[in-house]
Structure 1
């Protein structure tokens, strides 16, 4: 058994010489088997071992019994033990996730926390060959592609490793019995109210009895072949991802040209984009990929919601992947106005949304002496054309401006569309008004009505700066 696991570790480069390995231990047979085997191999692998146990608080006294058992086991083995309690049921409701997904997220967040604090380089989890077979069938019934049929990988991100994925559940149980280990038993594993348990207790035994006595290993061999094929296709898809995707902190852009490629490539690029941006490989299904494909064929401005608090938007054929943001009613209120008296405008500064706006007066303007600098965020206006007040606000429905050089007015909505300003950004663009007439759509257009001419005597200089936080 030790040779089999050791060979699997080396063949798959799961653990390197000198690694500090954090073992995820629930207290059940699989994790106790994993902990015991790694403990026996630690000198040969030259590794340090620690244990992480998250009490999900889902099974009443049994959960606290598991916690105590893991602590006592670690004390006997003289290895560090890190324990955390978390009300997963409450957490799942807050995050709007299933208990299974919430528990998984909480566990891996806990592992990351310990790794950063204590310097562990790997996390070892106790998935075995039966888990692999169950996962493949579970994904098959939900609908999946090659990635899903590949099942559980031996390692992920060179951080999460599964050293006993090569062992069947029977081998684990035999190991437990031979070594007189007494793991905790989770009774919920035998309740058929969960789909995965139905696969474990009904479907796989039926397949084994009626179709293939070696079904577990058959599915595991298939997963290895599919993983290799999938890895090759992923390399090809990566080149298209690099060609058509633009990453930034606030959003991903998938260029419209990508949707002219083969659908197999498109699907993988889309999946990679949404999983990378949301930092989650879970909750996304093929239906979400198809929704984005349909979105690419619709008009600009159309939006679809996606899992993990992100959404996709068609902006002139390009697909933007963004996080959903809570509305800030103070900054996005469309009727918010800040008025400044014309007679007291010089050296006045105001804050508006994410901007600082500075007003300066230049008196007795002589166009032969003053060089008016050209800058999208510095503009000059004829102060004498302003009768009463100056105000800054967000856009309103029906807003119009007479753009510089034109005689007729144009709707702000049309200007935003022409200049390809995303819908969600439009409410944050400051609108500078003189006597309730739009003088400047900041950063975009200025008005013909307040331009400087040969007759101008006094100038209003307006400087816009984005605030730093």
Structure 2
């Protein structure tokens, strides 16, 4: 009993230290049915009175393990019921399959999108995730292998985006298993955790045991290092933000940096200034930006005279004039920043360049059509569309027939009429068919009139277009 009390006290201390839960809040607990999430739910249920919070449960079935997933769904729902907690279970709108490109990323995006939807349905303030100290150690090692800087090596934040919380982040897998054993709590075991295919599993099953032969407390050491780097990064980011605010000229989609003042900064702070400016210009995204890109920006700044443009990921460019380094959104999509993805059949397509996820689902008849005015969901006559379809960036000369019109319009002129800023136009995907020559949908804005569904439509293709929030871009 004493060990159980100390374990609960340790997690409560973490929750209070990082301000994870405020009195009166409702917390949505993500429960897979595995040991970690079962522990998380029971711990939060035990602490709910002291923390003065309410709980609800969400379970997401990825549909990738037909022999195990239904049993896990039943288990999670029964667990919530045993604790008298509301529970929502769901699965991808379009089933994932092992053949899905970037399967892990697609599954993660689908899972977080589901959690956000259920959070809104239940009126929850936060989403509790079951990541623990061992997960943190694995994340640090994976990012070290990728060559991350201080932000990446800081691992997973205890609180992310103000609403994702990780109450178990300071307890180990061993402590969790011991708590479950002491309490006699059952849980499900995921057979895929034994596979060596995903990098994280290899780090967990091979690399960490090897490192433990040199340092038995390697997990604690890595987690402690992540916390040190998290605090260091937060301080450097604060310094960079202050310098940008005081010294740089800002306008929509563009930041001007005084070259002489920037050059006088310490090299490490220069790196953080560039990263934060890129983050601002890219509207929060640092996807695919690494030290090579930062060094390239510093190099053109150090060269005499004017240089550039230098094209960076996410449609960002950098250039210099005699007095300023300028980082901006590109007005047009250069060839190397264009994107194109092929969908051989209905399914899920993530478009990192546009920070979007497109889902296509085939329905028999129009009974499932939801006329709720959601601009991010559209319906098409499936018999007028032929797979494969292409999700791509807008190209010069693109034309389509906006819904309700008899003639065609240039997509560029349509976007101008819609008052879409030039810096945003390159991020809007279009859905095309017939060898990529006919536009079916300017995603999130307007479908082509020729592909609309009617009361006589026999098969309906539902398209859902989701902009990835910042919360979906992290671990």
Q: What SS does the aligned partner of 2:68 have? A: helix
Partners of 1:186 and 1:215 lie apart in 2 by 25
CA displacement, residues 118-169 of structure 1 (integer Å, 9 cap, x when unaligned): 3211111111111111111111122122222222221123211110111110
Do residues 166 (structure 1) and 166 (structure 2) align? no
Q: Residues 69-88 of structure 1: matches in 2 within 5 Å?
A: 69-86=75-92, 87=94
Report the CA distance shift for 1:163/1:233 in structure 2 as closer, same or farther (over 3 A). same
Partners of 1:24 and 1:283 lie apart in 2 by 28
Shift of residue 31, structure 1, vs aligned partner: 0.8
Shift of residue 35, structure 1, vs aligned partner: 0.7
Shift of residue 75, structure 1, vs aligned partner: 2.0
What residue in structure 2 maps to residue 255 of structure 1?
A: 257
Shift of residue 89, structure 1, vs aligned partner: 4.0
| Structure 1 gap segments, 5+ residues each | 333-351, 357-420, 426-469
Report the CA distance shift for 1:65/1:354 in structure 2 as closer, same or farther (over 3 A). closer
What residue in structure 1 maps to residue 47 of structure 2?
A: 41
User: Which of 282, 287, 308 does residue 292 from structure 2 map onto?
Assistant: 287
Q: TM-score, normalised by structure 2?
A: 0.62
Partners of 1:303 and 1:107 lie apart in 2 by 36
What residue in structure 1 maps to residue 220 of structure 2?
A: 217
What residue in structure 2 maps to residue 67 of structure 1?
A: 73
What residue in structure 2 maps to residue 239 of structure 1?
A: 242
| Structure 2 gap segments, 5+ residues each | 1-6, 334-392, 401-411, 417-421, 427-475
What residue in structure 1 maps to residue 327 of structure 2?
A: 319
Report the CA distance shift for 1:354/1:205 in structure 2 as closer, same or farther (over 3 A). closer
CA displacement, residues 6-32 of structure 1 (integer Å, 9 cap, x when unaligned): 122112221111111111111111111
Shift of residue 305, structure 1, vs aligned partner: 4.9
Partners of 1:111 and 1:279 lie apart in 2 by 21
* Structure with higher RCO (Cα < 8 A, 6+ apart): 2
CA displacement, residues 403-436 of structure 1 (integer Å, 9 cap, x when unaligned): xxxxxxxxxxxxxxxxxx99x99xxxxxxxxxxx
Shift of residue 282, structure 1, vs aligned partner: 4.7
What residue in structure 1 maps to residue 231 of structure 2?
A: 228
Partners of 1:328 and 1:68 lie apart in 2 by 51
Partners of 2:190 and 2:251 lie apart in 1 by 44
Report the CA distance shift for 1:135/1:2 in structure 2 as closer, same or farther (over 3 A). same
Partners of 1:282 and 1:58 lie apart in 2 by 27
User: Which of 21, 32, 35 does residue 26 from structure 1 map onto?
Assistant: 32
CA displacement, residues 289-322 of structure 1 (integer Å, 9 cap, x when unaligned): 334445666966635251xx53425385522135
Q: TM-score, normalised by structure 1?
A: 0.63
Partners of 2:320 and 2:58 lie apart in 1 by 45
Do residues 11 (structure 1) and 17 (structure 2) align? yes
What residue in structure 1 maps to residue 104 of structure 2?
A: 100
Q: Is the 8 A contact 2:240 2:276 kept in 1?
A: no
Partners of 1:305 and 1:91 lie apart in 2 by 32
The structure that has the greater radius of gyration is: 1
Q: Residues 7-406 of structure 1: matches in 2 within 5 Å?
A: 7-86=13-92, 87=94, 89=96, 98-208=102-212, 210-242=213-245, 243-244=247-248, 246=250, 248=252, 251-255=253-257, 257=259, 260=263, 261-276=265-280, 277-280=282-285, 282-294=287-299, 302-306=309-313, 309-312=314-317, 314=319, 317-322=325-330, 324=333, 325-327=393-395, 329-330=397-398, 353=413
Partners of 2:183 and 2:249 lie apart in 1 by 53
